[in-house]
Amino acid sequence: MALSAPPYILCFFLLFMLLLCSSTAQAQRNISLGSSLTAANNNLSSWESPSSDFAFGFQQIGKDGFLLAVWFNKIPERTIVWSANGENLVQEGSTVELTKLGLVLQDPNRNQIWTSGLSGTDVAYGAMLDTGNLVLANHNSANLWESFKEPTDTLLVGQTLSQNMTLVARYSETNYSSGRYHFVLQLDGNLVLYTRNFPLNTSNFAYWETNTHNGIQLIYNQSGYMYLEAKNGTILHMLSSNGTNATQDFYQRAILEYDGVFRQYVYPKTNDQRSSGWNMAWTQLSASIPSNICLQILNKIGGGACGYNSYCMLGSDQRPSCHCPDGYTFIDPYDEMKGCKQTFEAQSCDVDSEDADHFTFNSMLNADWPECDLEYFQKVDENWCRKACLGNCFCVAAVFRDGDCWMKRSPLSNGKVDPNDGGKALIKLRRDNSTSKAGGIDARKKDQSTMVLLGSVLSSSVFLNALLGAAFLVLFRFGQKAKVIKHKQFLPEMNLHIFTYAQLEAATSGFKELLGRGAFASVFKGVLAFDDNQCLVAVKRLEHTVKESEQEFKAEVTAIGRTNHKNLVQLIGFCNEGLHRLLIYAYMRNGSLSSFLFGPSKPNWHLRVEIALGTARGLFYLHEECSTQILHCDIKPQNILLDDSYTARISDFGLAKILKTEQTRTTTGIRGTKGYVAPEWFRNMPVTAKVDVYSYGILLLELICCRRNVEENVKDEAHMILADWAYDCYAGRELEFLVENDNEALQDMKKVEKYVMIALWCIQEDPSLRPTMKKVMLMLEGTVEVSVPPNPTSFMSSI
Ligand SMILES: *[C@@H]1O[C@H](CO)[C@@H](O)[C@H](O)[C@H]1NC(C)=O
Ligand SMILES: *[C@@H]1O[C@H](CO)[C@@H](O)[C@H](O)[C@H]1NC(C)=O
Ligand SMILES: *[C@@H]1O[C@H](CO)[C@@H](O)[C@H](O)[C@H]1NC(C)=O
Ligand SMILES: CC(=O)N[C@H]1CO[C@H](CO)[C@@H](O)[C@@H]1O
């Protein structure tokens, strides 16, 4: 009968069967005994919840191995909400099996790595529920084990944290082993955030608590509210006050993040809103717990939220980030919470040493390192404080505030920047830029390895032969093949890599994602793989039409490659192949200052001050501290990039100079951008470093006022050119107008005035009246007084 049926009916029948099968598969979510999953590179098998919102299985963590986990399954971001073996990732071929004894995770050699731990009980089946709870049940459908009862760092809607249960922060964003913080509902009814006595699993220092005595459970209810409840059901403490993000429209989670902050996130379920990703749920950002961890962790023992010799600062996104003061670098750039190390040799304590003369200070406003005081003096002035610290070989920094002087000992701890503190920290630095003795030896060792490496690849490359100049021998570390490049060599110091055009073409997927385009170059996003690491880069492709000499390109690359400053974008390498000229820079996640400053969410005043300072420091470095002076010639917000911690990093420096020779010969070839260009470009006057000072002045005004120098849509025509308006406001003593509606700036009018004055000095038409970048920097930092600036245009009228 079936045979005689027309073929299409057969097809329908098969299709129907298929649909039936898949729909029963949808409903049949019981995981039966003996089921197993295997960790494999390209095999995404998992056990999904009926709605597919959650799944359980293996997730690959970089090249480190596999994590047995539960995750949000329908969103592109991998968001893990529970994991079994964060401390102990397993390799490909490992399996998890559901047995009568529960879930058992085995490595490829059948060693047991983890088990859900149910001795002697009879598991009948398991299920991944739509709530995100993974359960194991017996024949009576009674839950014997639930992932909700053994949380890692995340709570989901419907999950409760009962007494004695703990959330442990992971070590870093991508390292799932236990980190430095935990969150516990204690048996005494108090809900507490602790620093962990890493690597031990004990509590160290409580940095937030509800101070309750009868809390019985922390509830995350269906409306997205989170609160601590007493036995009789009364709410003792509300953790999240905003439950408007209904669970039917939003995915939700609350997590103790690796930075020690407990945050609640929501993610829209509908596709059209997807692009926004996970957002903080609490409308008041201050509702993250604690609101500013930088100020909260203050313990006599330990380094604080960011480790020793570093400081913690809240970014404009209200997230804490760790930074090293000038003269210090991260011990491990991949683990910024590990603290910083000095890059120079410490001051000698020998009696007749004149070492003190070799030290100076960099000042940092609002910074402090409490809990490491060496000495304390009152009723002194800043100069006295500086001298006292210079004269004490144990003093590594001093904090000066209103006549009080605290000398600080090494290592600095609990570092923070808090605009409410006021005062300034003076960081002691070795004046000459020589690094420590140890560093010197390291450098020599590296040079030797460079030469060996060089020798081995030399014969194969024409370009390398061209670089035979002795200077290049010590400057470059060659790695024609990616394999040769170790990731350590890839990071901070001046290690330029040479790439082939093909490598860069692959890294950018054929120059697909354009980040920006200028007159002479286009910039593309790319990914470079080095050993185990993937690294985002910005690849700048110079246009073929600009054909400067080979020699000059190399000289410039050398000059840029030699630069190393935290306020410059780091050049990683280059490609010089036929007509192809490309420069490879570190990728800056937070984009350009332009989009930030003129975008919808403006940076706060204190961050703008930091950016102004950082940019000034970077320019000062280019002008005065590099072996060859580098003029930027195109300072503007588009060329100031912001790194992960919103530190200003100047980009495009030196490149302007590469293009210079050809461009300056033509009278119309003004380099730079309208509105930021110094007048001497138009006037047949010598072009010096002062052109950058001019552009910086304009940038500084834009930073102060959060608006562009030229704004055509303004109510009052007199406000169209910011530089003119700013001078009018200054002369008329009505600077408040410049920072209207900016409460933070309005409360800091003294600094606003000082910064406007500095900017007015910078934009003097007469280049000789403009200060050097060094002086600008010292004025911004407050080391040098700012005198009354003349009208910037008075020079023009005298010509
Ligand atoms: C799962 O298995 C249990 C016990 O065998 C059974 O009672 C339950 O109905 C099953 N659930 C589904 C969705 O099949
Ligand atoms: C995660 O961090 C811990 C603690 O520093 C470290 O021991 C472990 O090797 C790291 N794991 C991975 C996969 O990097
Ligand atoms: C969740 O808790 C809040 C605050 O107590 C309450 O107003 C709301 O009705 C609760 N929602 C549910 C679904 O229980
Ligand atoms: C040791 C060292 O690198 N010293 C350099 C410090 O910077 C000046 C320029 O600012 C150079 O001239 C020194 O060679």
Name residues of the chain where pLDDT drops below 70.
1-28, 43, 119-120, 241-246, 271-276, 281-287, 316, 432-495, 518-519, 530-533, 544-552, 555, 654-674, 684, 795-799
Q: How far is the CA of 127 from the centre of ligand 1 (A)?
A: 9
- pLDDT score recorded for residue 623: 87
Identify the residue whose C-alpha is closest to ligand 1 atom 6.
Answer: 141
The CATH code of domain 593-781 reads 1.10.510.10
Which pLDDT score, from 0 to 100, does residue 352 have? 75
Q: Quick one: pLDDT at residue 661?
A: 40
Distances (CA, A) of 86 to 60, 89, 200, 365, 400: 12, 6, 16, 40, 45
The pLDDT value given to residue 580:
85
9: left (phi over 0), alpha (psi -120 to 50) or beta: alpha
Domain boundaries, the chain: 27-149, 151-291, 296-430, 471-586, 593-781
DSSP strands (E only) in 385-532: 397-401, 404-408, 416-417, 424-430, 497-498, 514-517, 521-530
Who lines ligand 1 at CB under 6 A?
28-30, 124-125, 139, 141
Domain 27-149 falls under CATH 3.30.1330.40: no
Determine if ligand 3 sits within 6 Å of the CB of residue 223: yes
**Closest CA relative to residue 498, chosen from 480, 483, 484:** 480
Query: Is 2.30.110.10 the CATH classification of the domain at 151-291?
Result: no
Q: Which long-range contacts (CB under 8 A, 24 or more apart) does 685-692 make?
A: 685/767, 687/631, 687/633, 688/631, 688/767, 689/623, 689/629, 689/631, 689/772, 689/773, 690/767, 690/768, 690/770, 691/631, 691/633, 691/767, 692/619, 692/622, 692/623, 692/631, 692/632, 692/633, 692/635, 692/773
Residue among 24, 125, 130 whose CB has most ligand 1 atoms within 8 A, to mutate: 125
Q: How many Å apart are CA 7 and CA 505, to the nearest integer?
A: 50
Assigned CATH topology for domain 471-586 = Phosphorylase Kinase; domain 1 (3.30.200)
Cβ pair 495, 446 in contact under 8 A: no
Ligand 2 centre to CA of 196 (Å) is: 16
Would you state the pLDDT for residue 730? 93
Q: What is the pLDDT of residue 589?
A: 81
pLDDT of residue 175: 93
The pTM score is: 0.58
Atom of ligand 2 nearest to the CA of 171: 2
Write the residue with the smallest CA distance to atom 9 of ligand 4.
625
